[in-house]
């Protein structure tokens, strides 16, 4: 009997809410289902357990806060050092590993360029662990989730390009393909009093400001002024300051065109299927898994050039990539898709893109890296 390859997967929270957490769960479950691998997850918290995975509790010292990243890294590496793993694959910052999947950008860049805040002790501690992993941890492979993540890391760190390979998140396209679009459109549109002839622009986010809702609403205003008789609705799904953006909609004269649905934890696929296009002119997104979900529902997408999922967007074919603050550019793309024929052509291409980026395809790429690493 062949010896199974012993794999350690490291992540602070396994299977909980979040794009990165979903990525880790989807990948890990698929690896664990392969009998060639003995999979161990090292986490501080996890939502569910699998018969194919062994879980290990990693303590975290969260007070004082600056010890959070440092303590998780220290305890995780200490536990794994006693177990003789063939591959340590981390999805977060620890002191050393064989593979590092980069779900974000360098922490220094995130603080200074995205958050635009001064450095705290927590930030300095996080950067110290990150530098240890990348510069001194003898990591053999870096897997950024997008071209943006890759560019920022290679700019920040002196990494051998041969050790860097972009591996995008995947999507479970069956979640959408099994649904009846006509039924979804009927039920959802009836619920929100949206007419069948309305073109629905979908926006999904848990952070309205960061994901560019203000610029999208401004673009909707511009489009409406050019097509006053056009049936156009903006469906806002997720968590944010609804009062603030409701007031903005009224100020812009599009109050009757904007619908806030709140958070949808279950059956959000129906929301996608009931919409016509997806838009997210985000200020910054390392990837943006909602973009791939929208494509799975055959929705053409409009995203900013600061969204990592732009790697998958063929401009004018399955969607558009725009500058996040260029309201006129966003508006012109919405206007283009008011034409039903244009939408239909792009919808087919969007769905085709999703079929080429499933979780199974992504997992196969990672398993190939494992095989090459163990065989080397």
Q: How far apart are CA 26 and CA 262, in angstroms?
A: 26
Shared domain for 302 and 191, answered yes or no, is: yes
Asked if 317 and 184 sit in the same domain, the reply is yes
Domain match, 203 and 332 both:
yes
Number of domains in the chain: 2
pTM value? 0.93
Cα dihedral 137, 139, 142, 148, rounded to 10, equals 20
What pLDDT was estimated at residue 33?
Answer: 93
The pLDDT of residue 296: 98
Q: Identify the pLDDT of residue 51.
A: 82
Are 67 and 125 spatial neighbours (Cβ–Cβ below 8 Å)? yes
Whether 242 and 364 share a structural domain: no
Q: What is the CATH number of the domain that holds 45?
A: 3.40.50.2000
Do residues 42 and 132 both lie within one domain?
yes
Looking at the structure, do residues 348 and 364 belong to the same domain, yes or no? no
Tell me, what's the pLDDT at 3? Answer: 79
DSSP letter string over 127-144? Answer: HHHHHIIIIIS---EEEE
Q: What string of pLDDT tens digits covers the 376 residues of the chain?
A: 467 899 999 999 998 767 788 899 999 999 999 999 999 999 999 987 778 999 999 999 999 999 999 999 999 999 999 999 999 999 999 999 999 999 999 999 999 988 888 999 999 999 999 999 998 878 999 999 999 999 999 999 999 999 999 999 999 999 999 999 999 999 999 999 999 999 999 999 999 999 999 999 999 999 999 988 778 999 999 999 999 999 999 999 999 999 999 888 788 999 999 999 999 999 999 999 999 999 999 999 999 999 999 999 999 999 999 998 899 999 999 999 999 999 999 999 999 999 999 999 999 999 999 999 987 5
Contact 174, 207 (CB under 8 A): no
**179 shares a domain with 108:** no
Amino acid 376: pLDDT: 58
Domain assignment of residue 15, given as a range? 5-170+358-375
Instruction: Please indicate, yes or no, whether residues 198 and 326 belong to a single structural domain of this protein.
Output: yes
What is the reported pLDDT for 2?
Answer: 64
Determine the Cα–Cα distance for residues 169 and 151; give it in Å rounded to an integer.
Answer: 17
Spell out a b/e string for 70-83, using b for 16 or more CB atoms within 10 Å of the CB, else e.
Answer: bbbbbbbbebbeee
């Amino acid at each position: 009997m062949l010896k199974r390859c012993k794999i350690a997967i490291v992540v602070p929270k396994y299977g909980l809410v979040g794009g990165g957490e979903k990525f880790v769960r989807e990948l890990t479950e698929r690896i664990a289902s392969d009998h060639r691998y003995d999979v161990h997850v090292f986490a501080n918290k996890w939502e569910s357990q699998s018969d194919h995975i062994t879980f290990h509790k990693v303590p975290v010292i969260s007070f004082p806060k600056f010890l959070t990243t440092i303590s998780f890294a220290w305890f995780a590496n200490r536990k794994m050092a006693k177990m003789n793993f063939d591959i340590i694959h981390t999805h977060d910052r620890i002191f050393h590993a064989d593979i590092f999947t980069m779900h974000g950008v360098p922490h220094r860049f995130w603080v200074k360029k995205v958050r635009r805040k001064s450095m705290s002790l927590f930030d300095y501690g996080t950067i110290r662990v990150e530098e240890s992993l990348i510069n001194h941890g003898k990591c053999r492979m870096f897997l950024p989730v997008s071209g943006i993540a890759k560019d920022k890391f290679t700019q920040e760190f002196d990494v051998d390009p041969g050790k860097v390979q972009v591996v995008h998140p995947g999507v479970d396209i069956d979640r959408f393909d099994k649904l009846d679009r006509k039924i979804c459109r009927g039920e959802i549109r009836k619920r929100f009093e949206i007419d069948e002839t309305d073109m629905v622009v979908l926006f999904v986010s848990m952070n309205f400001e960061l994901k560019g809702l203000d610029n999208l609403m401004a673009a909707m205003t511009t489009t409406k002024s050019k097509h006053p008789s056009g049936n156009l609705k903006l469906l806002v799904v997720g968590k944010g300051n609804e009062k603030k953006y409701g007031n903005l909609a009224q100020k812009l004269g599009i109050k009757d065109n904007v619908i806030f649905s709140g958070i949808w934890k279950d059956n959000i696929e129906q929301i996608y299927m009931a919409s016509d296009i997806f838009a997210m002119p985000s200020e910054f997104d390392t990837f943006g898994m909602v973009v791939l979900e929208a494509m799975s529902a055959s929705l053409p997408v409009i995203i900013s050039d600061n969204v990592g999922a732009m790697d998958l967007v063929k401009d004018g074919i399955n969607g558009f990539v725009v500058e996040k603050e260029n309201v006129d550019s966003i508006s012109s793309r919405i206007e283009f898709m008011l034409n039903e024929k244009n939408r239909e052509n792009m919808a087919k291409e969007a769905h085709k893109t999703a079929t080429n980026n499933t979780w199974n395809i992504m997992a196969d790429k990672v398993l190939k890296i494992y095989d090459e690493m163990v065989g080397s």
